[in-house]
């Protein structure tokens, strides 16, 4: 086992804290980058009344990244090939979620957002099912799927209000 990953695979509070802190740091850096460049929302769009404010969306993602960090720790702390594979699968979900705001805001368009939501939702559901032997990990990843399902409804409302190419 690599010494750089040893901390993340520890079966104690330090391992849990390392996984959560790293995932949250990734989310804060990503959201901070978007906020720094003023890319939180498209100002010309009409948003539905049920849409949370931009900072709330960022805050929810920070909590979801913390949950994914906890899910990673929950599976990685076991000493099996399956555990290593499950931890890499959670890492992949973290990367997918990290990439989402960048390609949706820099590439743009609601079709891209919808496609990203569908992919992220499918990966999160498949991973939650895969991790069902760890209730904590499955619930943490399931929370990502629930949020992305809501985000998909939100994108549908944005399309209804603004069209596809805003």
- pTM of structure: 0.87
∠ CA 40-96-41, nearest 5°, is: 10
> Which residue reads 């720094």 in tokens?
36
- The pLDDT tens digits for 36-87 are 776 655 667 888 999 998 788 888 999 999 999 999 999 988 878 888 899 9
């Amino acid at each position: 086992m690599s010494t750089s990953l040893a901390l993340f695979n520890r079966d104690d509070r330090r391992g849990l804290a390392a996984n959560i802190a790293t995932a949250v740091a990734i989310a804060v850096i990503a959201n901070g980058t978007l906020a720094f460049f003023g890319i939180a929302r498209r100002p010309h769009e009409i948003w539905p009344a049920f849409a949370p404010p931009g900072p709330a969306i960022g805050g929810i993602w920070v909590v979801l990244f913390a949950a994914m960090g906890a899910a990673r720790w929950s599976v990685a702390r076991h000493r099996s090939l399956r555990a290593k594979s499950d931890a890499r699968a959670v890492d992949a979900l973290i990367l997918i979620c990290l990439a989402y705001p960048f390609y949706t805001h820099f590439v743009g368009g609601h079709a891209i957002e919808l496609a990203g939501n569908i992919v992220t939702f499918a990966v999160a559901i498949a991973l939650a099912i895969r991790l069902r032997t760890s209730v904590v990990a499955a619930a943490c990843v399931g929370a990502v799927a629930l949020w992305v399902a809501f985000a998909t409804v939100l994108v549908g409302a944005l399309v209804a209000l603004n069209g596809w190419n805003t």
